[in-house]
Amino acid sequence: MAQPVWIIDDDKAIRWVLEKALTRAGIGFDSYASADDALNALYDATPQAIISDIRMPGTDGLKFLAKVKQEHPQLPVIIMTAHSDLDSAVSAFQGGAFEYLPKPFDIDQAVLLIERALAESQAQSGGPDSPEALPVLLGQAPAMQDVFRAIGRLAQSNVTVLITGESGTGKERVAEALHRHSVRSGKPFIALNTAAIPKDLLESELFGHEKGAFTGALATRRGRFEESEGGTLFLDEIGDMPTELQTRLLRVLSDGHFYRVGGHTPIKANVRVIAATHQNLEQRVRDGQFREDLYHRLNVIRLRLPPLRERREDIPLLARHFLAKSASQLGVEPKRLSEAAMALIQRSAFTGNVRELENLCQWICVMAPGQTVEVADLPPELREPAAAAAARQNESWEHELTEEIRRRLQAGESGIVDELTRRFETACIRAGLSHTGGRKVEAAQLLGWGRNTLTRKIQELGLEIQDAG
């Protein structure tokens, strides 16, 4: 039986490094010293992904890629290349390579790339247990590559991580990936949405309670901290946590102990905490709604997940995966999007991000009549943007902004203009830099600022922006 990954390289040292890394990741492999050996093996078995060098004696990587794609067009092939072979890497992409890996490479990045290839292979196969076998992260956009690299660097660390991003961007998926690649992967991963638990129950949910601690506490109950012992506790929507519980959480992160509700014996917590929020925690700290000391405890390493509109090139890959997943759940053949339908989907707003795209693919799987989905088969709100816009005229951003201000005024909040201005400027900066590929001078001009003004605002807003000029 073929192992899921084949390693092909005439350099024994490269094979050894990859073999050790895949062993640690729990991924099976077969190794070959030449492409010809691997081609012979393909007559009897087929892997789920291949990672191959480009320059080898005998059949080189590009010729090998062409032969593999001829017989197995859906099989992902990663091509390894030295920096001097970038022209060959372009040829590899033109030949259908899944991705290229420049030498020398970061081993954690290599494993993540192989896992993405496996996820793509599983999505293409549509088997009953493949799309859902593992929570996958897919994406070839630079912003997602940064996330993958960060996960790789954090693989052997127990450091606390704060994940930020809009609703639907996949924050829990990233938390699961961080756990799966960590030394705690053999222990539990427990997720808790702090905004979904009533305030009166959240303390018991987190820390557990002793029998008789309150009315209805008929037995001792372990909380999420105990359930995730040795593993990872993911606290979603941390910005909504009540202030008194923020104090208790800070104490756990500070000294590593907690008490059950009604308890008097300290319990040691050996848990890695990963938190996530779609809110601006810095602003909530300034507004007195979030403890500054807890913010600094959580914000050791921050990962920002890009909204789908900043990674539109990933939409085809994600759509194929979700279509395969939905088909698997229904026990039917995956549907395919025509070029015109895919192009229309790529232009869509997707304010709900990846979650909205997944919902769309579920709709298509159930409602579209044929195996090949045309534009006419898509939901009306995608096909008729003008009509949909008219139907949603009361949901314009100006209307939503007005309603948000009214809600805050009714809640007795203050400093509203300052906070909304910060959020507006943050959105302008991120959109401008995304549009210009990170070039600050060009983005500043388009936004109507000077470069120094843009740089100052980035610093004042505490934005993590890579300088591309």
pLDDT digits (tens, 9 = 90+) for 390-401: 455 445 667 778
- Do 205 and 82 lie in a common domain? no
Provide the CATH number for the domain around residue 282.
3.40.50.300
pLDDT at 409 over 50: yes
Which domain-ending residue is among 254, 273, 304?
304
pLDDT at 423 over 70: yes
* pLDDT score of 469: 56
Is 219 inside any structural domain? yes
- Do 156 and 295 lie in a common domain? yes
- Give the count of alpha carbons within 13 A of 81, CB side only: 21
Is 134 inside any structural domain? no
Provide the CATH number for the domain around residue 456.
1.10.10.60
Of 67-71, 279-283, 406-410, where does the model show the most confidence? Answer: 279-283
**pTM (predicted TM-score):** 0.58
pLDDT-derived band at 83, boundaries 50, 70, 90? low
For residue range 129-138, list pLDDT tens digits in order: 333 444 457 7
Structure tokens at 386: 């003008």
* pLDDT score of 415: 82
| Helices of type H across 256-392 | 281-286, 292-298, 315-330, 339-346, 353-367, 380-383, 385-391
Is 394 inside any structural domain? no
The residues, ordered by sequence, that sit 6+ positions from 208 with a Cβ below 8 Å of its Cβ are 220, 221, 222, 223, 225, 226, 260, 261, 263
| Amino acid present at 267 | I
- Do 358 and 444 lie in a common domain? no
For residue range 140-155, list pLDDT tens digits in order: 788 888 888 888 788 6
pLDDT at 448 over 60: yes
- Do 214 and 329 lie in a common domain? no
For residue range 231-250, list pLDDT tens digits in order: 999 999 999 899 889 999 99
| Amino acid present at 307 | P
Is 182 inside any structural domain? yes
Which domain-ending residue is among 286, 304, 322?
304
* Range from 120-124, 185-189, 229-233, 459-463 carrying the lowest mean pLDDT: 120-124
Q: What is the mean pLDDT of residues 343-359?
A: 91
pLDDT-derived band at 93, boundaries 50, 70, 90? low
If you search the block for the tokens 């590929």, which residue do you land on? 437
- Do 300 and 322 lie in a common domain? no
- Do 235 and 285 lie in a common domain? yes
- Do 282 and 222 lie in a common domain? yes
* pLDDT score of 400: 75
pLDDT-derived band at 389, boundaries 50, 70, 90? very low
pLDDT at 451 over 80: yes
- Do 118 and 70 lie in a common domain? yes
Is 22 inside any structural domain? yes
- Do 277 and 202 lie in a common domain? yes
Provide the CATH number for the domain around residue 71.
3.40.50.2300
pLDDT at 125 over 60: no
Is 140 inside any structural domain? no
Q: What is the mean pLDDT of residues 419-423?
A: 87
The residues, ordered by sequence, that sit 6+ positions from 355 with a Cβ below 8 Å of its Cβ are 167, 168, 170
Question: How many structural domains are present in the chain?
Answer: 4
- In angstroms, the Cα distances linking 271 to 163, 177, 293 are 17, 16, 19
Q: What is the mean pLDDT of residues 276-289?
A: 92
For the chain, give the mean pLDDT.
Answer: 84
- Do 184 and 234 lie in a common domain? yes
What proportion of the chain, given as a percentage, has pLDDT over 70? 89
Of 36-50, 79-93, 355-369, where does the model show the most confidence? Answer: 355-369
pLDDT-derived band at 466, boundaries 50, 70, 90? low
Q: Which domain holds residue 424?
A: 415-468
* pLDDT score of 50: 93
* pLDDT score of 331: 83
Is 396 inside any structural domain? no
* pLDDT score of 216: 76
User: What is the full DSSP assignment across 124-175?
Assistant: HH--TTSTTSS------SHHHHHHHHHHHHTTT----EEEE--TTS-HHHHH
pLDDT-derived band at 81, boundaries 50, 70, 90? confident
* pLDDT score of 358: 92
Go through the chain and tell me how many residues it has: 469
- Do 189 and 226 lie in a common domain? yes
pLDDT at 305 over 80: yes
Sheet containing strand 99-103, edge to edge, reads: 29-32, 5-8, 49-53, 77-82, 99-103
* pLDDT score of 390: 44
pLDDT at 339 over 70: yes
- Do 283 and 214 lie in a common domain? yes
User: Cβ distance 211 to 169 under 8 Å?
Assistant: no
The residues, ordered by sequence, that sit 6+ positions from 156 with a Cβ below 8 Å of its Cβ are 182, 183
Is 238 inside any structural domain? yes
